Amino acid sequence: MDATYDYLVWLFPAAAQWPSWLVTLVITALPALACFTFMSLGPLVYVYAERKVAGFMQDRLGPMRVGPYGLLQTVADTVKLLFKEAIFPRKVDRKLFVLAPILVNVGAFMPFVVIPWGARLQPADLNVGVFYVSAIAALSTVGIIMAGWASNNKYALFGAMRSAAQIVSYEIPSLLIILVPVMLVGSLSLLDITQAQAGGLQNWLLFRYFPIMPVAFVCFFVTGLAETNRAPFDIPEAESELVAGFHTEYSGFFFAMFFMAEYTEMFVFSAVAAVLFLGGYLAPHPALQQVGPVAMGWFWLWFKAWSLMFVMMWLRWTLPRSRVDQLMYIAWKVLLPIALVLVVLVGGLVLIPATANGFPWDRYVAWPLTLLLVGFLTLVMIRALRWDKGRARELALPAGGAAPARQVAR
Amino acid sequence: MSAASPTGFVSDWDQDGLDTDEMVVNMGPQHPATHGVLRVELRTDGEVVRAARPHIGYLHRCFEKHCENVDYPGVMPYADRMDYCAAMGNTLGFALTVEKLCGIEVSPYVQTVRVIMAELQRIASHTIAVGTYTMDIGAFTPFLHLIRDREKILDLFEWTCGARLLYNYNWVGGVSHDLPDGFIRATRDFLREFETVTFPELLDLIIHNRIFVRRLSHVGVCSPELAISYDLTGPNLRGSGIARDLRKDFPYSGYESYDFDVCVGTGQYGPKGSCFERNWVRVVEMRESAKILHQALDRLEKTEKADVHEKVPKRVKPPKGEIYFRSEAPRGQLGYYLVSDGNINPYRVKVKSPCFTAMSVFHHLAKGMLIADVIALIGSLDIVLGEIDR
Amino acid sequence: MKRWLQEVWAGFYTVLVGMRITWRHLFTNSVTLQYPSVRWTLPPKSRMRLFMKYEDCIGCGQCVRACPVNCISLKTEKRPADAPPIWAASGQPIKLHVSVFDIDMSLCCYCNLCTYPCPTFCIYMTPEYEFATGDLSQHLYRFAKKDAQFLMEDPKKKAAPAEATPETPVAPQNPPASPAGA
Amino acid sequence: MDAAAIHAALVQRFGERITGASLDAGSPFAIVATDAIAEVAAFCKVDPALALDNLMCLSAVDYPKETPPRMEVVYHLFSYRHLHTFALKVQLPRESPAVPTLEGVWGVANWHEREAWDLFGILFTGHSDMRRILLPDDWEGHPLRKDWQDPEYYNGLHVKPTPQMMERALAGETIGVGPFDFTPENKHVEEP
């Protein structure tokens, strides 16, 4: 904090005489405000990006009408939503109805406190950082249930009940998998986790103990999808079944808040995943960390988080929606066992001192594991090829024959 | 609060003291996944549906009353608007019925043109059926890919007869416009693109996708006896494993001379008759239609060009009598019971619509399902409300 | 255990297969069209709005009978005996004076059944589809004109009259549909 | 089995309750007495030789001008095992037509019979859910009968444009044919 204080004094020499409460107020309030505005403008970009990605994946162009290449489309949408009348249906529980979107937004924005954008660019370095993020993310569930109940609409009630079950049951595997990087680094604070991965790409947690950590990363990604109600798990607001799930009755500004909360939560989750597995604000090569006087830490974190969000969007426009009980099956019968196995494995590996008295233990333990897993993967690949041949017979296509170059008939 | 279930009329559906935890949900007429204007009244206990009662009639335009006040060629535009996703199928059925009653025999050239148009319409109708079905299950991209390819078929139709959705193309005794030259080459282009790019992509992207399969493979299983007793026809029946296709059993308009096989539910991912099988039959049927189209195009080049209006009578006046004729529309067997008393407008036309009977089995299969499965069931029966309500 | 592993692997593998396809579609060019700035070129036979050449109409009423939705309303009177003889472009003499010929496009079902029985090919469908209006009554097009230039001499008697085929004008101008018409 | 054989089997089984038949090529049918239809239908379905296990179409037809004026219910049956078709007809009086239901024999009859009741007014005794299926529940009358007159109003809405509306349209006046109600008097005031 002292650096910001010196900066403040350099800016306003008179600040030295200010009372202490005013100084702390200015030092903490200003960065928080800056962070909040930067984060709340984020969804504008992400919504536009999602519609463009969806458009190109479906052989169309996405928004092109408002502004050059549709750049002002989301601005227009936001302005419309802000000025549209927020309708309150008659028998709606007004207080809860208004409180719900606020609570959901609180749950979405508060994790930004612990996300490190740079060596010292972090609002607060809590030593319980990772658990703080999970706890706050669970807060938005309360908001969703409140929205479902308050809007007095059967579909909203269904949506809320589903989302409660979904988020709660995905918290458990997600927390277990968070244990894996925490065990490797030995600290809960996000800053320490990032700094433990310093020194370029090969030190990132994703590539340590090669076969285990990628699996952990994929599982964590899947739990993240479920927690932000995205892609194959967007059951709470399943358009085709529940009209619009918990935010059916919302319109105007409140709908905008739900929308913003969803995309912010998506960004928060991708940022946390980037910090835990992809080395937060660390550049792939130390040389790229500093460009002239400017530290590029924030760019790398944003870039990693954004590529994870692109994968989420990519999944959303590819996969159908799974049913509620299948979602629970995946949570309890698939992710939980894998998470437990991972925790046990990494726990064991961490106990083995890497180079205790000159004997490279982890290399001798890691290798057989890798061979075992690679063997399993090739076995499955052969089976997959047989699957491919079988299916090719259905299509009367030469097995593995790629479809000829696409020529659009028009 | 949406209106409670309507009371005040003969109600055997025992409403006595709705116990507290059950809830009546109206999947209302304007619901995103009911394929048109259908209201399903679900009595749900949490997510599980205890009883379902479909309400139809929101799109009733009294087709049968119109038929009695309009002459035979005038019935065609109304027949188009019954199953608006497969207009060619409806008019072909009615045209064949009247021709059989009047004893008109159409030239082989016109028969081949009709088969080409019917099969193109079958592919277009199945792209809508499969596309909206994947959208009901949540995948939006395959729907747009299929709609993009359906546009190519609609371009062919528009090039031939000027309209894109409701064509008034099949007349009694012939067709309204002859095929423009270059039509055969354009159709061949479309078929090549369809078979090499669209079809494999559809299979890879969604049909074999594990989430899609798990969502549908054990849902809404309809046994063959139930299917026959509730007169499910077309892909719904073949999904239950019964290989019955009118184009094979009672061939009309030259279908006996094309070789194609009847696609049947294979039960590859679960029991026969499940939602997946019905959808699977529609997907494979698209490839069969493409096969028929290839043969029909080859035959068209060989038969000499005949005037399409040659057999169209000046005034259609069928003799006194009655007839029931069935044709294989994309959604099932479309039956016309035509009673004529000799003057220019029909005395009575009764249409047996495949979707009407498909919907009648709905309340049987919907018991005990989750709400998400009810949507999957409606989608798999591939109903079009225009045809149900007539 | 084996089934569980197979299930997880199949789920994962088919997701990757699906993603591969959508990735490929990211780079295929789009098939959509930005409508107001770029328009489809419609085939000449496309059936959009009805147009009727008043000068050729002999008032026979065939189209009124053929229309399944009765959207054409026609009123004719005998031409006074002393009026100069007039002919339609395709050679039929015009004996009836058509005082009212309205086509209500809001009722029309675009089935093209009225164009076939017309003896003088005066009613046909043009590929012009942008006639949406705010008020439904604007769709009531009146084709009866007071100041119509009829053909005074018999086209058949003229030396080698050109074969009168109906040319479809690209942008047919028709009388203003406002109530002040006729 | 062609139509004649089926008819022979029915007559042999039911004797005089099969009152008539016409086995020409068009669509062969047999006329059955009203009260025997349930029995005949069950026999058609159960009998292995006939095996007519599918009710293709149940249609009602109104013949006011025939002698005697009657209403007919036609059952078109099909057999998935032998692939042959046959039709049964039941003739009913036009005043209060009633037929025993065949819902037990073929499930699809449930909806077909509801439609016949809705559009023709034929009551199917013993039907589990005899409600209107296509028309609104509070609609009076059965529209597909030949002696049907369109009602002037339905819940206060114009069912058909009134004659003077047509007159004014032909006279050249532009009438707002929009969904809103039409005010008869002409508000067009001549300038002084």
What is the pairing mode between strands B174-175 and B321-329? Answer: unpaired
pLDDT value, residue C169 = 43
Kindly report the nearest CA distance between residue C172 and chain A, in angstroms.
28
Instruction: Judge contact between C145 and C175, C-beta under 8 A.
Output: yes
Cβ distance of C137 and D170 shorter than 8 Å: no
State yes or no: pLDDT of B343 exceeds 60.
yes
Residue B213's Cβ-side half-sphere holds a number of Cα atoms within 13 Å equal to 17
Q: Is the minimum CB–CB distance between C11 and chain B shorter than 8 Å?
A: yes
B7-51 pLDDT tens trace: 445 455 665 655 557 788 888 777 767 677 888 888 888 788 889
pLDDT value, residue A218 = 92
Instruction: Quickly count: other Cβ atoms within 10 Å of residue B1's Cβ.
Output: 9
State yes or no: pLDDT of B146 exceeds 90.
yes
Q: How far apart are CA C50 and CA C129, in angstroms?
A: 10
Please name which of A9, A53, A4, A48 lies closest in space to residue A27, comparing C-alpha atoms.
Answer: A4
Cβ distance of B348 and D62 shorter than 8 Å: yes
Mean pLDDT value across chain C = 79
Based on the number of CB atoms within 10 Å of its own CB, is B180 exposed (0-12), middle (13-18) or buried (19 or more)?
Answer: middle
Cβ distance of B74 and C47 shorter than 8 Å: no
Mutate to test the interface with A, among B2, B25, B144 (most CBs of A within 10 A): B144
**Helix (H) or strand (E) segment spanning residue A52:** helix A20-57
Arithmetic mean of pLDDT, A158-181 = 90
Instruction: Quickly count: other Cβ atoms within 10 Å of residue B47's Cβ.
Output: 16
Residue D71 φ then ψ, to 5°: -125, 135
State yes or no: pLDDT of A277 exceeds 50.
yes
The residue ranking higher by pLDDT, D161 or C44, is C44
Q: CA of B186: which chain A residue's CA is closest?
A: A409
Instruction: Quickly count: other Cβ atoms within 10 Å of residue A16's Cβ.
Output: 10
pLDDT value, residue B115 = 94
B90-135 pLDDT tens trace: 999 999 999 999 999 999 999 999 999 999 999 999 999 999 999 8
Cβ distance of D176 and C136 shorter than 8 Å: yes
Instruction: Write out residues 45-74 of D within 8 Å (CB-CB) of B.
Output: 53-57, 59-62, 74
Cβ distance of C136 and D172 shorter than 8 Å: no
Cβ distance of A56 and C31 shorter than 8 Å: no
Helices (H), A279-397: 297-316, 324-329, 336-351, 361-395
Mean pLDDT value across chain B = 88
Q: How far apart are CA C149 and CA B177, in angstroms?
A: 33
Cβ distance of A58 and B141 shorter than 8 Å: yes
Instruction: Quickly count: other Cβ atoms within 10 Å of residue C128's Cβ.
Output: 17
Among A345-359, C72-86, C156-170, where is mean pLDDT lowest?
C156-170
Q: How far apart are CA A363 and CA B377, in angstroms?
A: 54
User: Which of C22, C31, C112 is opposite residue B148, by nearest beta carbon?
Assistant: C31
Query: Which residues of chain C make contact with A53, given a CB cutoff of 8 A?
Result: 26
DSSP B36: S
Give the predicted TM-score (pTM) of the model: 0.86
Cβ distance of D176 and C100 shorter than 8 Å: no
User: Which of C8, C15, C26 is opposite residue A57, by nearest beta carbon?
Assistant: C26
Which partners does chain B have (≥3 C-beta pairs < 8 Å)?
A: A, C, D
Q: Is the minimum CB–CB distance between C131 and chain B shorter than 8 Å?
A: no
Instruction: Judge contact between A206 and A307, C-beta under 8 A.
Output: no
Which partners does chain C have (≥3 C-beta pairs < 8 Å)?
A: A, B, D
Arithmetic mean of pLDDT, B347-373 = 90
Query: Which residues of chain D make contact with B361, given a CB cutoff of 8 A?
Result: 107
pLDDT value, residue C174 = 40
The residue ranking higher by pLDDT, B30 or B309, is B309
Q: How far apart are CA B83 and CA B66, in angstroms?
A: 16
Query: Which residues of chain B make contact with D132, given a CB cutoff of 8 A?
Result: 57
Arithmetic mean of pLDDT, D74-102 = 91
∠ Cα A103 A109 A112 (to 5°)? 150
pLDDT value, residue A405 = 39
Instruction: Judge contact between B265 and B241, C-beta under 8 A.
Output: yes
Q: How far apart are CA A42 and CA A268, in angstroms?
A: 11
Q: How far apart are CA A230 and CA D156, in angstroms?
A: 49
Based on the number of CB atoms within 10 Å of its own CB, is A370 exposed (0-12), middle (13-18) or buried (19 or more)?
Answer: middle
Mutate to test the interface with C, among D166, D173, D177, D188 (most CBs of C within 10 A): D177
Question: Which residue type occupies C134?
Answer: G
pLDDT value, residue D170 = 63
pLDDT value, residue D72 = 92
Among A13-17, A316-320, B187-191, where is mean pLDDT lowest?
A13-17
Confidence of residue D55 (pLDDT cuts 50, 70, 90): very high
Q: CA of C27: which chain A residue's CA is closest?
A: A56
Among A79-83, A394-398, C64-68, D120-124, where is mean pLDDT lowest?
A394-398
Chains A, D in contact: 3+ Cβ pairs under 8 A?
Answer: no
Question: Which residue type occupies A351?
Answer: L
Cβ distance of B141 and A318 shorter than 8 Å: yes
∠ Cα D175 D181 D187 (to 5°)? 50
Q: Which residues have C-beta within 8 Å of that of residue A259, sequence separation ≥ 6?
A: A43, A47, A81
DSSP A289: G
- Whose tokens are 């009047």? That residue is B102
Among A16-20, A227-231, B306-310, where is mean pLDDT lowest?
A16-20
Q: CA of D176: which chain C residue's CA is closest?
A: C137
Q: Is the minimum CB–CB distance between B230 and chain D shorter than 8 Å?
A: yes
Mean pLDDT value across chain A = 82
Compute the Cα dihedral for A316, A322, A326, A328 and give only its sign.
positive
Cβ distance of B140 and A54 shorter than 8 Å: yes
Cβ distance of B168 and C112 shorter than 8 Å: yes
ipTM over 0.90: no
pLDDT value, residue D173 = 65
Among A96-105, C55-64, C155-164, where is mean pLDDT lowest?
C155-164
- Most confident segment among A43-47, A395-399, B9-13, B43-47: A43-47
pLDDT value, residue A29 = 78
Instruction: Write out residues 159-178 of A within 8 Å (CB-CB) of B.
Output: 161-162
The residue ranking higher by pLDDT, B2 or A190, is A190
Q: How far apart are CA D27 and CA D86, in angstroms?
A: 8
Please name which of A284, C182, B323, B118 lies closest in space to residue D61, comparing C-alpha atoms.
Answer: B323
Task: Kindly state the tokens that stand for B143.
Answer: 């729907």
Q: How far apart are CA A281 and CA A205, in angstroms?
A: 13
Arithmetic mean of pLDDT, A23-41 = 80
Task: Kindly state the tokens that stand for A110.
Answer: 């508060």
Centroid of chain to Cα B259: 22
Looking at CATH, the fold of the domain delimited by D3-125 is given as Beta Polymerase; domain 2 (3.30.460)
Q: CA of C117: which chain B residue's CA is closest?
A: B314
Count of A-B CB contacts under 8 Å: 102
D67-87 pLDDT tens trace: 889 999 999 999 998 888 899
Cβ distance of D80 and B56 shorter than 8 Å: no
First-residue to last-residue Cα distance in chain C = 85
Q: CA of C32: which chain B residue's CA is closest?
A: B148
pLDDT value, residue D180 = 39
Based on the number of CB atoms within 10 Å of its own CB, is D67 exposed (0-12), middle (13-18) or buried (19 or more)?
Answer: exposed
Query: Which residues of chain B make contact with C17, given a CB cutoff of 8 A?
Result: 204-205, 208-209
Sheet holding B348-352, edge to edge: B321-329, B332-340, B348-352
Task: Kindly state the tokens that stand for A216.
Answer: 């952990």
Arithmetic mean of pLDDT, A55-75 = 88
- Most confident segment among A182-191, B34-43, C136-145: A182-191
State yes or no: pLDDT of B5 exceeds 60.
no
Q: How far apart are CA B28 and CA B255, in angstroms?
A: 41
Q: How far apart are CA D89 and CA D30, in angstroms?
A: 6
Residue C126 φ then ψ, to 5°: -105, 150
Question: Which residues is C28 bridged to in the sheet?
Answer: none
pLDDT value, residue D172 = 61
Is it true that the peptide bond before D68 is cis, omega within 30 degrees of 0?
Answer: yes
Q: How far apart are CA A198 and CA A194, in angstroms?
A: 7
Confidence of residue C99 (pLDDT cuts 50, 70, 90): confident
Cβ distance of C45 and B78 shorter than 8 Å: no
Q: Is the minimum CB–CB distance between C70 and chain D shorter than 8 Å?
A: no
Q: Which residues have C-beta within 8 Å of that of residue A266, sequence separation ≥ 6?
A: A46, A228, A230, A309, A312
Confidence of residue A389 (pLDDT cuts 50, 70, 90): low
Please name which of B94, B194, B207 lies closest in space to residue B142, comparing C-alpha atoms.
Answer: B207
Please name which of A152, A271, A285, A173 lies closest in space to residue A222, comparing C-alpha atoms.
Answer: A173
Cβ distance of A406 and C4 shorter than 8 Å: no
Q: Is the minimum CB–CB distance between C8 and chain A shorter than 8 Å?
A: yes
State yes or no: pLDDT of A7 exceeds 50.
yes
Please name which of A286, A306, A350, A383 lies closest in space to residue A45, comparing C-alpha atoms.
Answer: A306
Instruction: Judge contact between A144 and A164, C-beta under 8 A.
Output: yes
Kindly report the nearest CA distance between residue B327 and chain A, in angstroms.
28
A354-372 pLDDT tens trace: 555 555 555 666 667 767 7
Q: CA of C74: which chain D residue's CA is closest?
A: D170
Q: How far apart are CA D165 and CA D186, in angstroms?
A: 11
State yes or no: pLDDT of A334 exceeds 80.
yes
User: Which of C73, C137, C142 is opposite residue D175, by nearest beta carbon?
Assistant: C137
Centroid of chain to Cα D161: 27
Sheet holding C96-104, edge to edge: C72-78, C96-104, C140-142
D109-149 pLDDT tens trace: 999 999 999 999 999 998 988 889 999 888 888 999 988 88
Task: Kindly state the tokens that stand for B93.
Answer: 């059925």
Mean pLDDT value across chain D = 82
Please name which of B299, B91, B305, B308 lies closest in space to residue B178, comparing C-alpha atoms.
Answer: B308
Cβ distance of C179 and D173 shorter than 8 Å: yes
Length of chain D: 192
CATH superfamily of B54-389: Cytochrome-c3 Hydrogenase, chain B (1.10.645.10)
pLDDT value, residue B283 = 93
Query: Which residues of chain A make contact with C36, given a CB cutoff of 8 A?
Result: none
Helices vs strands, H then E, count in chain D: 4, 9
Q: How far apart are CA B188 and CA B290, in angstroms?
A: 10
pLDDT value, residue A93 = 86
Q: How far apart are CA C62 and CA C60, in angstroms?
A: 6
Map residue B333 onto helix, strand or coil.
Answer: strand
D2-39 pLDDT tens trace: 888 888 888 888 888 888 888 876 788 889 998 889 99
Map residue B17 onto helix, strand or coil.
Answer: coil
Confidence of residue A410 (pLDDT cuts 50, 70, 90): very low
DSSP C101: E
Map residue B270 onto helix, strand or coil.
Answer: coil
Instruction: Write out residues 139-168 of C within 8 Å (CB-CB) of D.
Output: 140, 142
Instruction: Judge contact between A268 and A43, C-beta under 8 A.
Output: no
